[in-house]
Amino acid sequence: MTKPVGETNYVRVANLLRNEIIAGEIPLGGWLRLNALAEKYGVSVQPVREALQQLEGEGLVEIFPNRGVRVRALDRQRLIHSHEIGEALEAFLAYQFAEEASLSSLRKLEALQAAHDVALDALDWPRIDAANYAFHRFINMHGGNLEAAEIIIPRYYGLSESLLYKRGRTQAYADRVRAEHHALLDAFRDRDPSRAREISGKHVRATLDDVLDAFEATQNRAAKSRTDP
């Protein structure tokens, strides 16, 4: 697999491992060994260690000092709980952005959404995901609350995108995301923090619905592959 431009080794390994765990290609409860993974992905041990720390933050693995790393089962409740945390934090940060963002910051956010719109028009999902990440990261990082931002980003962004990528996404999904982003921009322009908070919460909940559908589809495919001769 060719590494995308700008993608670090640890991000590449995290993405590959995440996809394999979600697809059931790595058995749940199984132990992962750093040296074996480094050899498998053609990297040193350090990027593997960083990737596993990322996946531990997403709840996909458990790290046991001096013992190794074990794959955790992924279930609906963990997806729901992680998105509930994301909703609370992102709604708060959207409220804060509407209250405090300068005109210059708003213009930068509009430019990020313009790039997102171009990617959406082309239905170029890698570019859509990158632009979506940049849009939300700009809002989440704006107030300087790095603790909140660092909880949001590793806990569910990568996991959600991997599940949705596995299932595939439609024009309707793209249209929904675009409309919600622009509604959020309108709330920011109007300096309406309460509306921004409401829209942000609805945005996360709608994404959770899609993620849960994708999770069920992934589980069904894995179950079918185990029973097929």
Encoded tokens for 46:
């350090």
Q: Place 188 in a pLDDT band, splitting at 50, 70 and 90.
A: very high
pTM: 0.77
pLDDT of 112? 98
DSSP per-residue string spanning the chain: -PPPTT--HHHHHHHHHHHHHHTT-S-TT-EE-HHHHHHHHTS-HHHHHHHHHHHHHTTSEEEETTTEEEEPPP-HHHHHHHHHHHHHHHHHHHHHHHHH--HHHHHHHHHHHHHHHHHHHHT-HHHHHHHHHHHHHHHHHHT--HHHHHHHIIIIIHHHHHHHHHH---HHHHHHHHHHHHHHHHHHHTT-HHHHHHHHHHHHHHHHHHHHHHHHHHHHHHHHHHH--
**Pick the residue with more confidence: 150 or 18?**
18
Give span(s): CATH 1.10.10.10, the chain.
Answer: 9-71
Among the ranges 40-54, 155-169, 207-221, which has the highest mean pLDDT value? 40-54
Question: Is the pLDDT assigned to residue 177 strictly greater than 90?
Answer: yes
Q: Place 223 in a pLDDT band, splitting at 50, 70 and 90.
A: low
**Pick the residue with more confidence: 58 or 114?**
114
pLDDT of 1? 36
Give span(s): CATH 1.20.120.530, the chain.
Answer: 76-225
Give per-residue pLDDT as tens, 116-172: 999 999 999 889 988 998 999 999 999 887 777 777 765 667 777 777 877 788 999
Give per-residue pLDDT as tens, 78-122: 889 888 988 999 999 999 999 999 999 999 999 999 999 999 999
Indicate the CATH number of 76-225 among 1.10.287.1080, 1.20.120.530, 1.20.120.720, 2.30.30.60: 1.20.120.530
Kindly indicate whether the domain formed by 9-71 is annotated with CATH number 3.20.20.140: no
